[in-house]
Structure 1
Amino acid sequence: MRLHNKVAVITGAGSGIGEAIAHRFAAEGAYVVGASISGRAEKVAAEIGGSAIGIKADVGDEDDVRRLITTAEDAFGRIDILVNNAGFGGGLMPLHEQTTENWDRVHDVNLKGVFFCMKYGVLSMRRTGGGSIVNISSATSLVGFKHHSVYGAAKAGVNQMTRAAALDYADDRIRVNAVCPGTIWTGLVPMSQESPEPPPGVDRVPGIPIDRWGLSDEIASAALFLASDEASYITGAALPVDGGYSIGYSGMGAENPGRSID
């Protein structure tokens, strides 16, 4: 029960990594407030039970984020943990083919959404004596990856905002860290719609030192560690959970079938 009686707000909690984090945090004793733009976070909250609520919210909308934080405070009295997981991959293509519309939407969700959530989350945590923020970034923020210029730029911004915020709020007892997932088997991968885990024959991922897909539960484990008091002396970190992708990258391109960087 590493999060006993903690209150955790988790964005993008309706599926994939966010859903796994919501279930893991609840199993570790947390009260969970899950948000998703689709409304699926309400279904996840129902699965968890009375210690969770689900809210439909767009993290790229400041009013929605303000309402999310207020709802969590009204329901449970405070916020101890904030996990900024909501993300949008956008179109993966060479930079010169990218559109302004795609740039705006990718950055609205992946960067501005994290900014909004951190802003209002920090204001809440400062009132109650501190907390832990975990931003879900990406391995594409650490190394270049073909066709990921827009997405990678947004996630690199998340890392830098994580570092700066860690300095801004250390005196307020607020830790700020990031997790950088690599190739994770989630709903972003078309084949995953038919199988919750990689089936034989597609379980290997060439170019990754640990030659397999990562699982959402493995990202949830990293987020749990950083959110918990076990990581009480860690702030400003960007932790790769990528099977060695960011150190052993082989130049594999976005044209490879089934590959998705969360």
Structure 2
Amino acid sequence: MSAVTEVAANVTGKKVLITGGASGIGAASALLLASRGAKVIIADLSDEHGQQVVSQAEQAGNPILFKKVDVTSGDEVRALFAYAMQELGGLDVVVNNAGVDHLPKALHELSDDDFDRTININLKGVWHCMRAAIACMAPSGGGHVINLASVAGLRSSPGLSAYCASKHGVMGLTKTAALEYAKANIRFNAVCPSFIDTPMVRNTMETMDEASQKKLTHASPLRRLGTVEEVSAAIAWLASDESSFVNGHAFTLDGGMLA
């Protein structure tokens, strides 16, 4: 037998930018990709958490860079991508992970502030980053943009109307861009997790009674929350060349919830 010379989901040398990279899925993805030889920049609004991820990566011998950014600002996003192009010498993969949720409320009880904040970060922020990624990737032969959507972008989500609307919007942007920029060799895909064990989900669960927490935890047929490691492994595969014919796809990780 010949020796295996490459590992699955090989991302060695890939130049990767991850927004929302200071915690949860973004941090796990950054650490995994860096451990496999990718050159990674994370961006986030939290300096403190961003530096913690940088320190964790350095301790593992897989350095990554951090830059603070507010994805709702087009100017800050453009500056972030200029920084990434300068530091990495190009961009192969952009993971648009920055996002928020809101406390479960009936649609008519949701405040203007909650709705605007959710849409501005989850949808307009992704649009800002997609636009900047296209400007960087189109002149250099292409790339891959991976947007974090949700099962809430594929189905209804009672009590989370603004979040659901934002993630449906992300799916619309992803599918439209996948067709618009295929000739430029820029692929667009979305990752659609269900309930994952992240700080954001845990914070939401703290507002629930015990019965509601159990219902959320058992929402999938596997009767548990997903892990950030499971989602980051999927992102690593998408970031590799093994996913080269995947475009405009909703990559669902839901334990069978939508089956």
Normalising by structure 2, report the TM-score: 0.88
The one-character-per-residue Cα deviations of 1:1-49 (angstroms, maximum 9, x if unpaired) are 6111111000011011100000111112111010111122232123223
Counting only pairs closer than 5 Å after superposition, residues 1-262 of structure 1 correspond to structure 2 as: 2-39=10-47, 40-49=49-58, 51-190=63-202, 205-247=217-259
- Contact 1:65 1:120 (C-alpha < 8 Å) held by counterparts: yes
Shift of 1:246: 2.2
**Long gaps (5+) in structure 1:** 194-200, 248-262
Shift of 1:146: 1.7
Aligned equivalents of 2:215, 2:22: Cα separation in 1: 24
Identity, in percent, stands at 37
Aligned equivalents of 1:32, 1:178: Cα separation in 2: 19
2:99 counterpart SS class:
coil
Shift of 1:205: 2.8
Residue 192 of structure 2 aligns with an amino acid whose one-letter code is C
Residue 215 of structure 1 aligns with an amino acid whose one-letter code is T
- Contact 1:5 1:30 (C-alpha < 8 Å) held by counterparts: yes
Number of aligned residue pairs: give it: 241
Shift of 1:203: 11
Aligned equivalents of 1:202, 1:94: Cα separation in 2: 21
Shift of 1:239: 1.2
**Long gaps (5+) in structure 2:** 1-6, 206-212
1:10 counterpart SS class:
strand
2:172 counterpart SS class:
helix
Quick check: which one's helix share is greater?
A: 2
The one-character-per-residue Cα deviations of 1:115-159 (angstroms, maximum 9, x if unpaired) are 000100111011211111110101111111220111000000001
Residue 47 of structure 1 aligns with an amino acid whose one-letter code is Q
1:65 counterpart SS class:
helix
Over 3 Å counting, the alpha-carbon distance change for 1:118 and 1:208 in structure 2 is same
Structure 1 residue ranges, 4+ long, deviating more than 3 angstroms after superposition: 189-193, 201-204
Residue 231 of structure 2 aligns with an amino acid whose one-letter code is I
- Contact 1:42 1:55 (C-alpha < 8 Å) held by counterparts: no
Greater alpha carbon shift after TM alignment, 232-241 vs 219-228 = 219-228
Match of 1:259 in 2: none
Over 3 Å counting, the alpha-carbon distance change for 1:243 and 1:143 in structure 2 is same
Shift of 1:189: 3.4
The one-character-per-residue Cα deviations of 1:218-253 (angstroms, maximum 9, x if unpaired) are 110111111211110010001110111223xxxxxx
